[in-house]
Homo-oligomer: A and B are copies of this chain.
Amino acid sequence: MEEVKQFYSVEEKKLARYAKALSHPVRVYICGILSKQACCYSGDLAEEVPIARSTLSQHLKELKNSGLVQGEINPPKIKYCLNKENWAEAQQLFKEFFK
């Protein structure tokens, strides 16, 4: 019921959130793969990327939390894909921002 004055706009907060998701090279790398080709599995990434699987899992979780990426369960694997809708939103926000 508390009416709190928000200083930052919704767009500013969304942009910051997407930017935060992309603020680590491994997350940029993962999104780059997912946007260029198709979806992929955590294990596929783990073989390429020079970090522990548990750490990779944390980064994937962050990308999921940001909304840029989603995971589809495909037992016993989990297939990670871009969330097209949010990806398009981020694209638009950055485009507007730099315009």
Contact = CB atoms under 8 A, between A and B. Distances in A.
Interface of A: 7-8, 12-13, 15-16, 19-29, 31-32, 35, 49-50, 87, 90-91, 94-95, 97-98
A39 to B, nearest CB: 18
Given A8-B26, A13-B25, A20-B24, 10 more contacts: A8-B29, A12-B25, A12-B28, A12-B32, A15-B28, A16-B23, A19-B23, A20-B20, A94-B94, A95-B95
Q: A-B pairs with the 6 shortest C-beta distances?
A: A20-B23, A19-B22, A91-B98, A8-B25, A19-B19, A19-B23
Nearest to A87: B98
Decide if the interface of chain A is mainly helix, strand, loop or mixed.
helix
